[in-house]
Structure 1
């Protein structure tokens, strides 16, 4: 199981690619698409074993049903996290001005809500004002950066920022938009379940119960009616039950960790496939308030004691590779790599012990290193209970660290307790994620920035903040690349956190009824069926198999 983070926005004007989607374009395609759709099979989609569903299609709710965001409600743009593709949805172009303080978006002119009402800039302004009036809905904190949102005409929206922050534009452009005509009448939008959703997306909700719900293709969708006529989302309550349904061909698209995917899934049919795209760096985050872990020598020793290829094979069944010491992960981001820095970590337990000895640590009678001040090097690694791959990874790392004299045990906590402990600094080491995007800035900012939303380790460093600010305040690619290279050097030399593996997005899909899925050779967007709104882009590419 993995957590999905936020994406980022490349600086400058957008080069939009939605028109390149298979089966997409103007509404003139609708008649051809309709003929194909009439004989196409439903797509059975089970993103994960969520258990029974509640009737919640509120796009601002963190517990809404899969498909609310993407199939029904849409943002202005979507930026792929596994390629450099950008997709114009409700927006068709954007441009920065005023030194990166003003973002102007040109909207599509042929969009309607599924109740027939035209979509205009008033809906966008209303949505953002709704977030301002209801801070609980503003989960991305857009109003911490925005000064105003205005509409000079029916198809233009102007976002004025308090100060230059070009990368933050993604949180604005990927905000889901709701119709003013409906949501202006809702007294408490945070608690509104929205059981009859009206959106702009490619699908309409056609039926719902706690065990299964269905979407049908929107015949008036502005990019043309999708070729997948019906998407059904059945409920599963366990990995085993969902794995059995996948193997039996009862589910055509899912996304979960399967230990032996060849034996369990792909061997059952030539139509069964998977693509576990590298998505984020997973690492060991040290609590830098811990007087032992605040010492660079200790972090260096931990780094050298981890056998990453072994973790990738034993803990992750070969699905994930060793992370780069620079914390850059996505293949299409390799242009940012500093060529003077190492591309892989070295497993060297002997050197790890030498570093500790040089720093004044000595082993006691039990073989555990003790600091010059008399503190035994005894640590715990926190990990969410039930995340079987991470649990295995941490068990292996604990053995490796204990073998060199760092006494290490693993603590498995319920997910909520785990997050609370990390955010509250109540841990030693923690296996955790980063929040990636189409450029390396976001993973680095979120994990290293003094105001980053996942800087759980407590790193606060002037050189780091200066580099992050240099990136955020510029639209010059050369300036941004230099800033990233500075941050890579900090990662390698100072180890604010310890990269371990390139975390993957889990996805399994069948080509029995549809072709056009993203693959490693055609990574137009992530295929993970829980990484919304990417599934909307995927479905727009799918074509019924003849």
Structure 2
């Protein structure tokens, strides 16, 4: 984990750089590198509820279980909180229920110092016993251990009321992010509920800045927690209306009845931002979209073929025609830019840091490797295998469907046949997991450093290593990164991975994914944007939603 992350604040406490033990100050308000996250309200009585939609998901079921994948929006962050949160669009690290951390025992032991004045909304104090209980709950009921933290942990113990000691089976510094972002529940309530995966939590008790106020399947509200340990909140009430479709949510956004959402909106400048000076959006790079080959296919296992495919794909067309310019051309290294600009190896040659659209060069490359065109104009190998592949893509993902069609047309121009197959998402995901595909459009997971994309996408045995890349140098660089907190050593490890990805193309970077995010700033200022990218802005990114709300301040009248 990169150790040069900014000092950040949340809920009235300063937290030192993650994974170093740093003293924390207290106070009724806080300031950080990005502004004041919990300024007191100015004439909040005149403010209408801030209306939020995490997506058009239809009617709500009353379920505020933080361990449920179908929990209602706001459950994670606004009600139940983790210890820390690492921003994936900036270098900020936010202490929430945790104040500081320290590694010891050759980076196999992590000690977390907790907030000492947090309470559950029923008045009971939050202590280290709640944290230990929560992790033991994950151990007892593995179905709720969605990040598989107990595959890495050997024990979790309290050290007094304000410290928790996490012992890892082996040094794995980056995995601490998944541990520290686990949502904590109160022992005095959850010890009586049995299997958490079978519980519908209708009246949640958390430590977060909001409490459930009203609920119906069509709409529910949360009000500011009057006893929140971070002090008085600037946003006194949030409202979550239900929407059945993108169209209904789009209409609510355009008419001003929806303040904050994350929607894919074609021609957004024309249909949204130009209609009102307070209508804003920012589509931060939120991942990496790849053309993923099945490397067990002997043709796609040939690096020359992958290089030719990459050279023949016009990424600018994908960005502009299929993605309306929202998603920019990716970097060959696999780094998500500009978020991880500081990680780029300055010694890499330009050919490793910039894609070149060169269909003529792609054909020459194939020809030099012994491929020849058959009577149908398709290149075949020396033993007669045609460069003809099936490309799978989720059905109904209109931008990806268009990406796939463009790729097929572009590759046909150089003698590579692509047959696009749109699949229902469940079938698409099954084919990826079982490696029953030739090529696939795939998006990566993200994290607070480049390590997470590389590990999840290219680490041997990783569940999302769909291409089945297995390379000792890749695995060694990942293992070396995970074993240390030394910034210089980590940078050297990432340099090695950049070179491997850009030169060997285990998967082919295309364009960046986007974090869809639209908002209206007529009532509040302090929203994250390209000039102040303090946290992931989408309202369905948890607990980033909490951090955004704690940064907002009423607009001066």
- Equivalence map 1:324-363=2 (5 Å): 324-339=331-346, 340-341=348-349, 342-363=352-373
Q: Which residue is equivalent to 1:484?
A: 494
- Equivalence map 1:128-277=2 (5 Å): 128-277=135-284
- TM-score, with normalisation over the residues of structure 2? 0.93
Work out whether residues 122 and 205 of structure 2, in 8 Å CA contact, stay in contact via their aligned partners in 1: yes
- Taking structure 1 as reference, are residues 365 and 28 closer, same or farther at Cα in structure 2, changes over 3 Å only? closer
Q: Which residue is equivalent to 1:316?
A: 323
Work out whether residues 40 and 227 of structure 1, in 8 Å CA contact, stay in contact via their aligned partners in 2: no
- TM-score, with normalisation over the residues of structure 1? 0.95
The one-character-per-residue Cα deviations of 1:141-169 (angstroms, maximum 9, x if unpaired) are: 10001010000100100000011011111
- Taking structure 1 as reference, are residues 310 and 450 closer, same or farther at Cα in structure 2, changes over 3 Å only? same
Following superposition, the deviation at residue 41 of structure 1 comes to: 1.7
Q: Which residue is equivalent to 2:451?
A: 441
The one-character-per-residue Cα deviations of 1:92-149 (angstroms, maximum 9, x if unpaired) are: 1001111100000000100000111100000000000000000001010100010100
Question: Are residue 413 (structure 1) and residue 405 (structure 2) matched?
Answer: no
In structure 2, C-alpha distance between the alignment counterparts of 1:31 and 1:47, rounded to whole Å: 22
In structure 1, C-alpha distance between the alignment counterparts of 2:302 and 2:321, rounded to whole Å: 30
Q: Which residue is equivalent to 2:307?
A: 300
- Taking structure 1 as reference, are residues 28 and 466 closer, same or farther at Cα in structure 2, changes over 3 Å only? closer
Question: Are residue 389 (structure 1) and residue 402 (structure 2) matched?
Answer: no
Work out whether residues 202 and 225 of structure 1, in 8 Å CA contact, stay in contact via their aligned partners in 2: no
Work out whether residues 13 and 99 of structure 2, in 8 Å CA contact, stay in contact via their aligned partners in 1: no
- Equivalence map 1:89-104=2 (5 Å): 89-104=96-111
The one-character-per-residue Cα deviations of 1:447-498 (angstroms, maximum 9, x if unpaired) are: 0001323111100100100111111111111111111010111101110000
Specify the SS of the correspondent of 2:71. coil
Query: Could you tell me which of 55, 58, 69 is aligned with 1:62?
Result: 69
Following superposition, the deviation at residue 362 of structure 1 comes to: 1.2
Work out whether residues 243 and 264 of structure 1, in 8 Å CA contact, stay in contact via their aligned partners in 2: no
Q: Unpaired runs of 5+ in structure 2?
A: 15-24, 31-36
Following superposition, the deviation at residue 338 of structure 1 comes to: 1.4
Q: Which residue is equivalent to 1:473?
A: 483
- Taking structure 1 as reference, are residues 529 and 32 closer, same or farther at Cα in structure 2, changes over 3 Å only? closer
Work out whether residues 38 and 551 of structure 2, in 8 Å CA contact, stay in contact via their aligned partners in 1: no
Work out whether residues 27 and 221 of structure 1, in 8 Å CA contact, stay in contact via their aligned partners in 2: no
Work out whether residues 280 and 330 of structure 1, in 8 Å CA contact, stay in contact via their aligned partners in 2: no
Following superposition, the deviation at residue 18 of structure 1 comes to: 2.0
Question: Are residue 18 (structure 1) and residue 28 (structure 2) matched?
Answer: no
Work out whether residues 322 and 344 of structure 1, in 8 Å CA contact, stay in contact via their aligned partners in 2: no
In structure 2, C-alpha distance between the alignment counterparts of 1:21 and 1:313, rounded to whole Å: 43
Work out whether residues 469 and 506 of structure 2, in 8 Å CA contact, stay in contact via their aligned partners in 1: yes
Following superposition, the deviation at residue 12 of structure 1 comes to: 8.9
Work out whether residues 13 and 95 of structure 2, in 8 Å CA contact, stay in contact via their aligned partners in 1: no
- Taking structure 1 as reference, are residues 94 and 31 closer, same or farther at Cα in structure 2, changes over 3 Å only? closer
- Taking structure 1 as reference, are residues 25 and 539 closer, same or farther at Cα in structure 2, changes over 3 Å only? farther
Work out whether residues 286 and 428 of structure 1, in 8 Å CA contact, stay in contact via their aligned partners in 2: yes
In structure 1, C-alpha distance between the alignment counterparts of 2:163 and 2:493, rounded to whole Å: 33
Specify the SS of the correspondent of 2:291. strand
Q: Which residue is equivalent to 2:529?
A: 519
Q: Which residue is equivalent to 2:382?
A: 372
In structure 2, C-alpha distance between the alignment counterparts of 1:337 and 1:35, rounded to whole Å: 43
